[in-house]
Structure 1
Amino acid sequence: MHPVKMVRSRVSRSSSFRFVMWRDFACVLVLTAVAWVLCSTFDVSELAYRWTRNAERFQLDELPVTLCVLAVGLAWFAWRRYRESQRELATRRMLEEQAEQLLAENRRLASQAIEAQEAERRYLARELHDELGQYLNAITLDAAHIRDLSAAREPDIHRASLAVMQSASFVYKQIGGMIRRLRPIGLDELGLPSALEHCVDGWRERLPHASFALTVDGDFTGIADALNITLYRLVQEALTNVSKFARDARVEIYLVRTSADDQRHGEIVVTVADNGPGTDLWQPRTGLGLVGMRERVESLGGEFHIASRRGDGFMLCARLPCHAGEPEPSGAPSVDASVPVEPPGAVRSAN
């Protein structure tokens, strides 16, 4: 819940409690006044004396004073309990505020850790592409030159040059895969929808028996990089789970940005559902993928939900505010790096 809403809720509850307290106190005063009027009208004391004078040996005529003392004692006891409950409530509110502050601090630190991780990944992806990629290209060109020179005169050198070219090509492909895992293809240049389309296309090639449908609705320009990468990682991890447990399922991916008067206060919802074998959510899980997704979403102030039953598929849904991940005024600047990518396909597709 938003801190302002929490404060308003507490103020409302406190005002309601005070209103009930004073209302009950007013009812007691009114009942006391009504009892005094009735006793004065019907001479209750005289009636009580006539009824109890035959039992003078039991001292029943002293009972009103005793009951008065008992009433005063009960009132004092109730007042003490009320003061103690107020102190306990104040202590509980203070502890709740401290817990909320610690939770907010924990989320802030988790968000900073994720931002630092993504910045480091972006930096590594840039270094792998700019440095190792260039040297591998140079090695390939040198090996091709050696191959051309030795084609007719030195068969052994010719074969060695071909082997060097093949090795360089293999290493270049491996580095390309590392770059794609470190930093999503097209996320910086082409935006989130295109990056997700490229990701889904890759899974279509890896899982030919599965069917994928991606639907994107809304404008995803202008959102923070931390929110961008979180949405991408959610879909990426969800598709990784599909590759493990539902290799021939139909997978539907929805990414929606809700409209609002102020775009900054809108909401982004991402849902990934499949009709695979599902799982029993009550059973303990050893993997950390869902835990990592939940931490990413909650660190940005969002909500993360999963639903599944055996034989009934699996679905995850995350809701995040559009302003999530925006840098604070005193926050450190993020590392700026980019990796050239191939242009992906259209935003909407179905296989």
Structure 2
Amino acid sequence: MRPDSPTSSAEAPASRSTVRRDLACVLALTVLAAVLCMRFDVGELTYSLTRRFERFQLDEFPPTLVVLATGLAWFAWRRYRESQRELLHRRALEEKAERLLADNRRLASESIGAQENERRHFARELHDELGQYLNAIALDAGRIRDLSTEGEPEVHRLSLAVMQSASTVYRQIGGMIRRLRPIGLDEFGLPSALEHCVESWRERLPQASFTLTVEGDFANLADVLNITLYRLVQEGLTNVSKFARTSRVEIYLVRTADDARATRDEIVVTMTDDGPGIDLTKPRAGLGLIGMRERVEAIGGEFHIASQPGSGFLFCARVPVQAGLPEPNEPSELAELAKSVK
């Protein structure tokens, strides 16, 4: 919580009003006690009851009690001031922790963005450079095959082997490119890329059924947000292939406004399956769910999972639509670093 936040600024008047209310209650009780004492002559009644014990000097107790009450009031005031100082110190530490957490999330988001930019560049280089040369090799091998005669069977065989090798390497590079950068994400947007991803898993897992539902506008989102949502679905489908190969999988991607938080625009992605489920109380060896949670929380989102043995598995992620976008008139640290290098 930042010091200039509305919640923090509203706490001080609330605390002062509580102090005023308590003091008003003390004064009101004091006045009421004085009125009751005057009405029922408490002093004379007390004197008549204690007159038989004059030898014990009971009439000297009121000043002593006044001193004791004053000392207790001073003691309570000192404890109150100390508690206020401790409370202020704790609030300062909490605000510092919140700032450090926000900075950590921002830096993690910047790191993910830089990583995805590097992956995009690497995938483009693989496609443009190596893909071009592999196509050239395949074409040259095809030309050699066509020119080889029946009297040159070895040349014909070798040309076919070169074409097969080039085709194999090209497929491997295509797989690397798909892992580095989702197909269609930059060209057609997030929904199309997710549909392509789900379709590929339909082919790999014919015994499972997949349903993808997309609602809302997913244009003009930050690249780090797009890639985070894609990686969530991708990791979820990978877990399905490991633990629920014959289940029914339902994926929902919805852009909505959360009324509970003053119409905050959010994107919610949910994936459910009716597979065997897991026991969340037991430690897990894999890092897939941990990586999913870290990705979501790095851009200021929330990540929740629910599962029981025999009851399937569900995960739900909520992320703000503005995640990954630079603040107005506030360039990112990467841009500032680039300017300083120039």
Give me the TM-score of the superposition, normalised by structure 1.
Answer: 0.90
CA distance in 1: counterparts of 2:254 and 2:39, whole angstroms: 74
Partner of 1:294: 293
CA distance in 2: counterparts of 1:51 and 1:35, whole angstroms: 20
Q: How many correspondences in the alignment?
A: 329
The within-5 A match list for 1:201-350 is: 201-258=199-256, 265-328=264-327, 329-331=330-332, 332=334
Q: 143, 163, 166: which one pairs with 2:164?
A: 166
- Verify the 8 A CA contact 2:256 2:265 in the aligned structure 1: yes
C-alpha distance after superposition, 1:134-186 (max 9, x if no partner): 00001101111111122323111111111011000000000001101110010
Structure 2 counterpart of 1:130, which letter? D
- Verify the 8 A CA contact 2:271 2:316 in the aligned structure 1: yes
CA distance in 2: counterparts of 1:259 and 1:105, whole angstroms: 26
- Verify the 8 A CA contact 2:2 2:99 in the aligned structure 1: no
The within-5 A match list for 1:64-103 is: 64-103=62-101
The answer to which structure, 1 or 2, has the higher relative contact order (CA under 8 A, 6+ apart) is 1
Displacement after TM superposition at 1:43 (Å): 2.8
Structure 2 counterpart of 1:267, which letter? E
Q: Which deviates further from its counterpart, 125-134 or 50-59?
A: 50-59
Partner of 2:340: none
Partner of 2:196: 198
Q: 58, 61, 65: which one pairs with 1:60?
A: 58
Q: Which deviates further from its counterpart, 15-24 or 87-96?
A: 15-24
- Verify the 8 A CA contact 2:2 2:95 in the aligned structure 1: no
CA distance in 1: counterparts of 2:274 and 2:217, whole angstroms: 29
Partner of 1:340: none
- Verify the 8 A CA contact 2:251 2:270 in the aligned structure 1: yes
Displacement after TM superposition at 1:327 (Å): 2.8
Structure 2 counterpart of 1:312, which letter? S
Structure 1 counterpart of 2:303, which letter? F
Runs of 4+ in 1 over 6 A off after TM superposition: none
Structure richer in helix, relative to its length: 2
Change (3 A) 1:121 1:211: same
Give me the TM-score of the superposition, normalised by structure 2.
Answer: 0.92
Unaligned residue ranges in structure 2 (runs of 5+)? 336-342
The within-5 A match list for 1:35-50 is: 35-50=33-48
CA distance in 2: counterparts of 1:260 and 1:76, whole angstroms: 50
C-alpha distance after superposition, 1:258-278 (max 9, x if no partner): 1589xx941111000000000
CA distance in 2: counterparts of 1:214 and 1:296, whole angstroms: 22
Structure 2 counterpart of 1:300, which letter? I
Structure 2 counterpart of 1:194, which letter? S
CA distance in 2: counterparts of 1:105 and 1:16, whole angstroms: 30
Structure 2 counterpart of 1:149, which letter? L
Displacement after TM superposition at 1:3 (Å): 5.5
CA distance in 2: counterparts of 1:302 and 1:321, whole angstroms: 6
CA distance in 2: counterparts of 1:3 and 1:154, whole angstroms: 80
RMSD: 1.8
**How many percent of aligned residue pairs carry the same amino acid?**
69
1:8 partnered with 2:1: no
